[in-house]
Structure 1
Amino acid sequence: MATPVKDPLTGAETTGHVWDDTLQEFNNPLPRWWLWTFYGTIIFAIVYWIMYPSWPIGKSYLKGIGNSITYKTDAGEEKSTHWNMRALLAHDMQNSTEAAKQQEYLAKVGAASYDQIAQDPDMSAFVRSYGVGMFGDNCAACHQSGGQGVVGQYPNLVDDDWLWGGDPATMETTIRGGRLGYMPAFKNTFNEEQLNQVANYVLSLSGEPADAAAAAEGQKIFQGETGGCYMCHTKEGTGMHAQGAANLTDKVWTIANLPAAETPEAKLAAVKAVIHNGVHRQMPVFGAQGRNLSDTEIKVLVAYLQQMSGGAAAQ
């Protein structure tokens, strides 16, 4: 066995390599515990690659062996798949202690009336907790996280003005089957003068500044066969839930953005634009033919919307 070479100045063991006559390489091996830890990580990585999803292979990847997870799909079908975080989350959401409690409360809410839900602190708290997630997943993209909507596009859900009616049964119907918001465009029906007259009359219905003479002529068009607006909005302009026609006598504006209009001229222009272009907006279906929310989930969502609107949805 060769005798270790030592540095004459420090006495430290060297590898025997010398550069430029005096420059030497010390022999400082890694600690044994560090080496074994390093080897252990290599072994662990190999085992992990075999047991769990890892390396890509073509258009697929190694899915692992010996680990499978069973869970139920949104359609209620039982599915077994290789271990992955998404399947694990679905399994835990359906089989954990918290999931069992959640299902218990869902069944309780499903069997209760809306009045009972509102009067029961535990069920109301559950509706707030579970409903905020459902609203975020299904509604917030259009109606915003706070339910305030977007003027001109999506209705406000936290006020007391519900185009199709705000009683629980109607709200369930709206969520389950969706809604088609439609008003014909009058650009080929009214000339500029008639358009101006009808817009002034609509403004006058809610007490907004309007040209009295033009509004008087606009009333004739609104309530006559030329415009026929009364067929949906009624002759009083109070709207009709069956048609989703807006109440024009209040100060709630869902399409024409009057709150943002700073002058009477701007308000008139906003109303004229709606009458000229009409309205066409579609709310998607969330029932069995759409996003497949269960009856109980729809009930929770309705109860949550009632809480959001402070009970205003009861009308």
Structure 2
Amino acid sequence: MSQGNSQSSNVKTTGHVWDGDLQELNNPLPAWWLWAFYVTIIFSVVYWVAYPAWPLGKGFTTGIATITYKNDKGVEKTTHWSTRALLMKDLQDAREKQKPYFDKVAATPYEEIAKNPELSNFVASAGKVLFSDNCAACHQSGGQGKMAFAPNLTDDDWIYGGTHDKIQASITNGRHGIMPAKGGADLNESEIESLANYVLSLSGETMDAAKVKAGDELFHGKGSCVACHGADAKGNKDIGSANLTDKIWLWADVPGAGSADKKVAAVKEVISSGLNKGVMPAQNGRLSADQIKLLTVYVHDVLGGGR
């Protein structure tokens, strides 16, 4: 709006006048703005037709755009566009790009993979993703494991063996470690106390000498511990019995115990109750042989564990 007397004669008006001289000017929107507005309308209509857009009873308009991909079973499937279908297509494309490298890893002996910079880089990147998706939930993102739950994969203490072949077997077939409970009918409270003192002494802990001596006799006699852990207490990798002479603990939180009494209590609990929770699920039904080999190399060569 503007006063008619002050308005330039070059500006058109709509012809509407109020109070004798108050006129309505005709200032149209710029052409570029109008065309941009029209384009957004046209784009919206095209989008509504092409992609899922409007609720329709219990369903929705699916649009005419489609995506073709192969599902987990390798069957080609064509469906209307959706973010899930797009993800499946992207994953398929990624697998196809990675397949030549997986094939190279599968065809290359373990000892040669580390000597090939191209394959080593692929193992480091693709292996990290596989490990995060399938292993990190138990072994943690860096493979450091968790006390009384999952072993550390970054050290050289592997109760089933840490060579490439042993690691591959563990991933493929899984593991189920069992230690029989010794409490109750097998050993009384005093005997378990002595046995715990002896076990702790094996890894360098200073314990009660009399109890250590009694525990030594129990370990090699009535307790039948040598049957699994061996006369030298260094374990047996064929059956997954732990080496008791090192300072590495998984099921008894000795490193976290603040006193000798608490260390003894932690070991006593394992001896008395036994173990039936050292379970690692087999991955041969979830992962392909190529993926398992890649994970094996990643754990051994990249995380640094296993010898």
Normalised-by-shorter TM-score class: 0.7 to 0.9
Render the CA deviation track for 1:92-120: whole Å, top value 9, x for unaligned.
Answer: 44447xx5552111111101110111222
Question: Counterpart in 1 of 2:166?
Answer: 170
Structure 2 CA distance for aligned equivalents of residues 223 and 55 of structure 1: 76
Offset of residue 10 of structure 1: 6.0
Decide whether the 8 Å contact of 2:235 with 2:242 is kept in 1: yes
Structure 2 CA distance for aligned equivalents of residues 137 and 214 of structure 1: 47
Change (3 A) 1:159 1:9: farther
Match of 1:49, as an amino acid? W
Match of 1:215, as an amino acid? V
TM-score, length-scaled by structure 1: 0.84
Offset of residue 301 of structure 1: 0.5
Question: Counterpart in 2 of 1:244?
Answer: 240
Decide whether the 8 Å contact of 1:160 with 1:309 is kept in 2: no
Instruction: Give unmatched runs, 5+ long, in structure 2.
Output: none
Render the CA deviation track for 1:110-156: whole Å, top value 9, x for unaligned.
Answer: 01110111222221111111111111111111111110000111100
Question: Counterpart in 2 of 1:216?
Answer: 213
Instruction: Give unmatched runs, 5+ long, in structure 1.
Output: none
Structure 1 CA distance for aligned equivalents of residues 167 and 29 of structure 2: 71
Decide whether the 8 Å contact of 2:2 with 2:24 is kept in 1: no
Of the candidates 135, 138, 141, which is equivalent to residue 137 of structure 2?
Answer: 141
Offset of residue 238 of structure 1: 0.9
Render the CA deviation track for 1:227-274: whole Å, top value 9, x for unaligned.
Answer: 222222122211111222111111111111222223222222221222
The yes-or-no answer on 1:274 pairing with 2:262 is: no
Question: Counterpart in 1 of 2:288?
Answer: 294
TM-score, length-scaled by structure 2: 0.86
Match of 1:223, as an amino acid? H
Alignment of 1:49-128 (within 5 A): 49-57=48-56, 60-65=59-64, 67-95=65-93, 100-128=96-124
Match of 2:52, as an amino acid? P
Question: Counterpart in 1 of 2:39?
Answer: 40
Structure 2 CA distance for aligned equivalents of residues 220 and 17 of structure 1: 116
Structure 2 CA distance for aligned equivalents of residues 9 and 191 of structure 1: 113
Structure 2 CA distance for aligned equivalents of residues 34 and 180 of structure 1: 70
Number of residues of Structure 1 aligned to a counterpart in Structure 2: 301
Alignment of 1:224-263 (within 5 A): 224-225=221-222, 227-263=223-259
Please state whether the residue corresponding to 2:114 is helix, strand or coil.
Answer: helix
Identity of aligned residues (%): 48
Decide whether the 8 Å contact of 1:177 with 1:284 is kept in 2: yes
Offset of residue 28 of structure 1: 6.0
Render the CA deviation track for 1:163-193: whole Å, top value 9, x for unaligned.
Answer: 2111222211211121112223334343321
Structure 1 CA distance for aligned equivalents of residues 120 and 270 of structure 2: 39
Question: Counterpart in 1 of 2:194?
Answer: 197
Offset of residue 44 of structure 1: 1.5
